[in-house]
Each structure stands twice: as structure tokens, then as C-alpha cells.
């Protein structure tokens, strides 16, 4: 069933709107498969198989090898895989929608006007170039007006609305200890490169990146027409390096207990003295007594450090970060300079994305749910929701059975796990209640004003949550996002519309491949509620220790086997995967595929499915898993993925999981000596 198009209602019904079925193949998918008597295909993408490789030696190469051979990464992409194919398709569908809004116009304040004018403002390069730095001159005036360190707390607080140049970041979210209310949190921030490791580890690659980063800083400085670019770069790098040395690592930041430290504002001032925290929060627009501090020792170090750095150096730091954060909205030479570092150097991109694609991303980030309403009206089939609801129900049953069958878990903890599973909620396709953008006014031909207005709108939306009831309709992703997520404080799993298409979800394919693909994704998100961090929250979304000491010890031992396994994978150069960083995702992968297999077997009710395209049902199931993780990386992007995580590269999501599953061994006759074989005593079994 299709919903009525917003565009048709608000503009005109004569625009020739066309709907595109989610079941259509992505641009690189060419499924050459036979159909059974019911017209169902195997779902195995036969033209991607590399039969020169044995599936029991390297299943990733076997199931994706021909695709890997013939596929080139687009010049404006850092990687290319199944997710990226669908994202490209969704982006093209969204571009059609936005172009029609932009061409047709609309009444002031209407959805059509907001979307169209924002898109056109980004495309108006001639006007943007003519304005130079004038749209952000007021930012620099504010920086120049700072007269003492005492001004900095107020300045940083006010800057929270725009997220520019703030070594401390403040946000509002659900309280992990009292999930029925919102609370303010503060966290480390302030770096211009993506991770602390780039500053503190002296590998050849990091040394080269630091040199490139200082070149980028100097380049922006010179483009602004200011003198002393090299000195400014040295100053910014020195400040950020000191911040980075105090930053917690990504592994430390995964620990939900360690990052939950509730304090009064007075207690925070005692813990991190020297910084005017009350002024900071006041200027950020929040009237609070309590705050959750995510990295207490970072804030303490920062409070000592900020007075040691001269006011002049802080001003240099602020001016650079203002340029960095707004580069893509300034004259094209600033965006080009940003691409050279963040695109070409950090990710290995060969060319910048087109201005039109950049404009789509801009509209998506500011008005994503408005666009999402139109996307759903055109491209989402309600039949997908019914199929997904059935799959989710079946996999929840299978997960419950898996809990009951665990040999290592005590009856008391099983009862708690079952209770949590029973409270899971599911969101599929699109929100029941759409987000409104009444707080956002968009004006034609003033891109920077629109950027500022969008930031202010979303910031006010966030802080207005304080003191209000939890919004059960809130979505963390738009419907056109190709992804899925689990949110612990809501104990919910969410599947946007755009992921419900091949190779993840194929309405024309046999159940086996769907259970191995979208079924495993469903299982993955459910398992996140029981991974090394998710298991620390209960069914109400609160951090609570519901494990016996013996069960905790059993879990840690099994998790360590997984850490050791993934830490042995060496994707590139001397970089190995960080098993502790990817632990939650890897547990979710293994648990998700395991329960999806059980759910599929349950669905058969003892019947033996037919062989299709030479594959048994069990073989098709694992093919479904293997082909959703096809991906190629540029070297620079692969290094970044390993450093930043937490997801393992697709190859290891296939090899790591399947080599732990006895069901895979049986389906593909894996024996000692085969590449996929692992000794039974090191195979991981958690959920």
C-alpha cells in the first residue's frame, strides 16, 4: 500500500511522479538464478561466485570473488560494497525528490519551500563565492572580542549551539540509570582529526598525516587572507595534541559504566576546578543541577590546561575551527582544501563528490525527515513491514530458545535475560509520528544563515527535552538511511525503510537467504541488547547488574576468545583489528546469525526445502550472510576503519563469524586443514 505523496499534495499532481519498487536490483546486482515452481529464486547472486575458491577455505572470496574482481570503487568513494550500493541508490531517489521540490517552489514556510530553497542555496556557488568570509565574520568578531580566560567558559557554552571549536561537548539524552528521564551530559571533544591515535602514536602513517594536517590548517589560514599560516598550524596542532593525550581511547569510551559519572554542577567544579562550569551551562542555555560526566579525568586535565594556553593561542584555535567547520559553505577554494585533507589524504578519494550530491547531503542533514516522508510515499511497500514483523517475531522466539539452551548461564540470569527480551520493541520503515521543522526558517540564497538556523533548531529541540517525558516516537535515523540500530535506553530495534531491499531483504527470494541476510541483521540488533555493553542494561533501559558472579566470569571468558580471534586478523600493513574495540559488533554478528539460523530451522517445521541453483537451504542461508558484506576499501579508508572501528571490515565479518558456527561446518563440509576451520576449543559461542 502506498501513501499519498507530500509533493503531490503541496505542489501539483501533474509532475509525473513514478514509484520504484524496493525489490528492484541495485546497480551492480545481476541475479542470474532459476526459479522454482512458486517463482521463488535462490537469492544467491550467482554471477558473483568465484568457484575457483572453495567455500570451506575462504567463504568471503567464494561468495563475492567475481564481484570483487570486476568492481571498481567510484572515484568519489572511500569504499564500495552492498551498503554503499543501496546508499547510492537511495541518494539518487532523494535527489529526484529534492530537484522536484526545488523546481516547483512552494508557499513560504511549506515543506516544499524549505527543501527547495536550502538545496538551491547550496548550489548557488556564484553567490557563495561573491560573499567570501562575510557570512562568518560575526564569528570572528566574537573571537576577537574575548579579553581574558574568564570569557572562555561563556564563549564555549554559547558555541555549543554550533559545535565549533569546543574542547568540551554538551548534549542531552536519556539517563542510562533512569531511562524515563532526560539528562545533560558532557564529553571530551576538540580534535580536528578523527581519533586521538593520529596525534599520540608515531607510526610513519600518523607522522605523515600530522604533516598533512598542519598543511591543511596553514592552507585555510592563507585562503582567509591572514598572515602566519605555518605558526597558526603549529599552535593548533600543539593544543590538539595536548587535548588528545588526555582523551580517552575508543575502547575506554565503550565502557558504559566508566562513562557514567553523575555529579552536581558544584561537584563537577570541585572535580575539575578552574573552569567556570556554571557559566558554561548557563550560556549553553540549560538550567541544571546534575550532569553525567563521561570522561572525568579528561575534564580535570582540560580545566587545568585551558588557563595554561594563552588567550591568543585559543583565539588562533577558534579561528581555525570556525573555518574548518564551515569550509563547505564558504567559497569553493575552502571546500576544495577541506576535501584535499579529509577526502583525499584521510580516505584516499580520487575526486570530490559533485556539488549536487553535496547539496543532497546538506538537505538530508537539516531536513532529513521531511525528505523521508516523500521517500516513504514513493519507495516503501507496506508489505515489507508485515514480512519484517513476522521475521522479528520468529527471531525473538529463537533468541528466547537460545537463552534457555545456554549451558553456561544460571537459571536466575536466564530469567532476567528472558525478561529483557520480552520488553524489546521494534520500529520498522518510518516513524509513526513525523518530526516537524516548525522551528526552522529557510531563506533563499543565504546558505550560512540556513546552516546556523538548522543548528539552532536542532539544538533547541535537544535541550527542550530536559524536564519532558521520553518521546516514544523518536527515530535516530531517517527512513532513507541504509542501516539499522539498537538503542539500549529504549530497548528498541529500528529498521529504516531503505535497508529493506536486496541483498538484505528480497521479497522474491527463498526464505533461507532472507533469514541469512535481513534475519541476521535483526538478530544482530537484538543481540546488541546482550553484547558486552548491552547486557549491562535491563529491559527498562537502565544500567543494572543483573548477572551472577559466575555468569559474569563465563561471559568474560567467552568474550576474550572473540577478542583474541579478531585481534589476529591483519587487514593491511602492520595494522591488526582491535578485538576489544569491535567486541560488541562481533558478538552481535555471531549471535545474530546463530539465532537467525535457529529461527529459519523453526520456520521449516520439519520440512526439507528443495535445492535451488545447486544450493541446499542451509547453504543458501550462509550465502545470504556472505553476500551482504561484500565490500572493497581504499587503503587509506581501510586503515581508518581499523583504527576507528568498531565494525570489522566485511571480509572479517564473514570469516570470523562463520568459522565459529558448527552449522556452517556441516553445510559446507568444513574439515581440519580447511581455511575456515578453527579448533573446537577456541570457537566462540556466547548467545
Asked if residue 416 has pLDDT above 80, the reply is yes
Residue 186, beta-bridge partner list: 170, 293
| pLDDT (average), residues 103-110 | 88
Give the Cα separation of 554 and 561 in Å (integer).
Answer: 11
Residue-level pLDDT at 39: 63
Residue-level pLDDT at 383: 83
Dihedral angle sign, alpha carbons of residues 214, 215, 216, 221: positive
Asked if residue 111 has pLDDT above 50, the reply is yes
Residue-level pLDDT at 18: 25
**276: confidence class by pLDDT, cuts 50, 70, 90:** very high
Residue-level pLDDT at 332: 97
Residue-level pLDDT at 211: 98
**26: confidence class by pLDDT, cuts 50, 70, 90:** very low
- Residue where the block lists cell 567547520: 325
Residue-level pLDDT at 36: 53
Please report the domains of the chain, with CATH numbers, ordered by start residue.
146-330 (1.10.1380.10), 382-425+501-682 (3.40.390.10)
Asked if residue 145 has pLDDT above 50, the reply is yes
Q: Cβ distance 197 to 207 under 8 Å?
A: no
Residue-level pLDDT at 38: 57
Distances (CA, A) of 11 to 17, 118, 436: 12, 17, 19
Residue 496, beta-bridge partner list: 429
Whether the bond between 392 and the residue before it is cis, its omega within 30 degrees of 0, is no
State pLDDT tens for residues 182-236. 999 999 999 999 999 999 999 999 999 999 999 999 999 999 999 999 999 999 9
State pLDDT tens for residues 155-182. 999 999 988 879 999 999 999 999 999 9
Q: Cβ distance 447 to 128 under 8 Å?
A: yes
Question: Kind and range of the H or E element at 304?
Answer: helix 296-308
> Hey, is 546 helix, strand or coil?
coil
Asked if residue 27 has pLDDT above 60, the reply is no
CB atoms inside a 10 Å sphere around CB 245: 13
State pLDDT tens for residues 621-673. 999 999 999 999 999 999 999 999 999 999 999 999 999 999 999 999 999 99
**600: confidence class by pLDDT, cuts 50, 70, 90:** very high
pLDDT averaged over the chain?
A: 93
CB atoms inside a 10 Å sphere around CB 205: 17
Residue-level pLDDT at 268: 98
Give the Cα separation of 667 and 353 in Å (integer).
Answer: 43
The region of weakest confidence among 348-352, 409-413, 503-507, 540-544 is: 503-507
Amino acid at each position: 500500500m502506498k501513501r499519498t505523496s507530500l509533493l503531490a499534495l503541496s505542489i501539483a499532481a501533474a509532475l509525473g511522479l513514478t514509484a520504484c519498487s524496493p525489490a528492484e536490483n541495485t546497480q551492480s546486482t545481476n541475479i542470474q538464478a532459476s526459479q522454482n515452481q512458486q517463482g521463488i529464486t535462490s537469492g544467491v547472486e550467482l554471477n558473483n561466485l568465484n568457484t575457483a575458491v572453495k567455500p570451506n577455505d575462504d567463504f568471503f572470496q567464494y561468495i563475492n570473488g567475481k564481484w570483487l574482481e570486476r568492481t571498481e570503487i567510484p572515484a568519489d568513494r572511500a569504499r564500495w560494497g552492498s551498503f554503499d550500493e543501496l546508499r547510492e541508490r537511495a541518494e539518487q531517489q532523494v535527489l529526484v525528490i529534492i530537484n522536484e521540490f526545488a523546481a516547483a517552489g512552494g508557499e513560504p514556510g511549506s515543506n516544499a519551500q524549505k527543501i527547495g530553497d536550502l538545496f538551491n542555496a547550496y548550489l548557488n556557488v556564484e553567490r557563495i563565492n561573491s560573499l567570501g568570509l562575510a557570512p562568518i565574520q560575526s564569528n570572528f568578531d566574537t573571537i576577537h572580542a574575548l579579553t581574558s580566560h574568564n570569557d572562555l567558559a561563556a564563549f564555549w557554552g554559547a558555541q555549543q549551539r554550533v559545535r565549533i571549536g569546543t574542547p568540551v561537548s554538551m548534549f542531552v539524552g536519556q539517563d542510562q540509570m533512569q531511562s524515563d528521564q532526560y539528562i545533560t551530559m558532557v564529553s571530551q571533544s576538540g580534535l580536528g582529526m578523527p581519533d586521538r591515535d593520529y596525534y599520540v602514536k608515531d607510526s610513519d602513517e600518523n607522522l605523515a598525516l600530522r604533516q598533512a594536517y598542519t598543511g591543511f590548517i596553514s592552507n585555510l589560514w592563507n585562503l582567509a587572507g591572514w598572515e602566519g599560516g605555518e605558526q597558526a598550524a603549529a599552535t593548533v596542532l600543539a593544543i590538539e595534541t595536548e587535548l588528545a593525550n588526555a582523551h580517552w581511547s575508543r575502547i575506554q569510551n565503550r565502557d558504559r559504566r566508566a562513562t557514567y559519572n553523575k555529579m552536581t554542577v558544584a561537584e563537577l567544579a570541585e572535580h575539575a576546578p578552574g573552569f567556570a562550569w556554571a557559566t558554561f551551562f548557563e550560556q549553553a542555555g540549560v538550567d541544571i543541577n546534575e550532569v553525567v560526566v563521561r570522561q572525568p579525568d579528561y575534564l580535570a586535565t582540560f580545566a587545568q590546561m585551558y588557563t595554561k594556553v594563552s588567550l591568543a593561542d585559543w583565539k588562533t584555535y577558534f579561528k581555525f575551527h570556525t573555518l574548518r567547520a564551515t569550509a563547505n559553505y564558504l567559497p569553493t577554494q575552502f571546500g576544495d582544501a577541506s576535501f584535499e585533507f579529509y577526502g583525499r589524504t584521510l580516505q584516499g578519494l580520487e575526486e570530490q563528490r559533485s556539488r549536487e550530491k553535496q547539496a543532497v547531503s546538506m538537505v538530508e542533514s537539516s531536513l532529513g525527515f521531511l525528505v523521508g516522508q516523500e521517500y516513504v510515499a514513493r519507495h516503501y511497500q507496506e508489505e515489507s513491514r508485515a514480512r519484517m514483523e513476522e521475521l522479528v517475531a520468529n527471531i525473538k522466539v529463537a533468541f528466547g530458545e537460545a537463552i534457555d539452551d545456554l549451558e553456561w548461564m544460571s537459571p536466575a540470569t536466564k530469567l532476567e535475560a528472558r525478561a529483557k527480551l520480552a520488553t524489546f520493541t521494534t520500529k520498522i520503515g518510518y516513524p509513526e509520528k513525523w518530526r516537524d521543522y516548525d522551528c526552522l526558517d529557510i531563506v533563499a540564497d543565504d546558505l550560512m544563515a540556513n546552516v546556523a538556523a538548522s543548528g539552532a533548531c536542532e539544538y533547541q529541540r535537544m535541550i527542550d527535552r530536559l524536564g519532558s517525558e521520553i518521546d516514544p516516537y523518536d527515530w535516530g535515523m531517517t527512513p532513507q538511511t541504509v542501516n539499522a540500530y539498537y538503542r539500549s535506553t529504549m530497548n528498541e530495534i529500528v529498521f529504516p525503510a531503505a535497508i529493506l531491499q536486496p541483498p538484505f531483504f528480497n521479497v522474491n527470494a527463498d526464505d533461507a537467504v532472507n533469514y541469512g541476510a535481513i534475519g541476521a541483521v535483526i538478530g544482530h540488533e537484538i543481540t546488541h541488547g546482550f553484547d558486552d555493553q548491552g547486557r549491562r542494561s535491563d529491559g527498562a533501559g537502565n544500567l543494572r547488574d543483573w548477572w551472577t558472579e559466575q555468569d559474569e566470569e563465563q561471559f568474560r571468558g567467552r568474550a576474550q576468545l572473540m577478542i583474541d580471534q579478531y585481534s589476529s586478523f591483519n587487514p593491511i600493513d602492520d595494522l591488526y583489528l582491535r578485538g576489544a574495540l569491535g567486541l560488541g559488533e562481533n558478538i552481535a554478528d555471531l549471535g545474530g546469525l546463530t539465532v537467525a539460523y535457529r529461527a529459519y530451522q523453526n520456520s521449516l517445521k520439519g520440512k526439507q526445502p528443495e535445492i535451488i541453483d545447486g544450493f541446499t537451504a542451509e547453504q543458501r542461508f550462509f550465502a545470504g550472510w556472505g553476500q551482504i558484506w561484500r565490500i572493497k576499501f581504499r587503503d587509506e579508508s581501510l586503515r581508518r576503519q581499523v583504527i576507528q572501528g568498531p565494525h570489522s571490515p566485511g571480509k572479517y565479518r564473514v570469516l570470523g563469524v562463520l568459522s565459529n558456527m558448527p552449522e556452517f561446518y556441516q553445510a559446507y563440509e568444513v574439515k581440519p586443514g580447511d581455511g575456515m576451520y578453527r579448533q573446537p576449543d577456541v570457537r566462540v559461542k556466547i548467545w
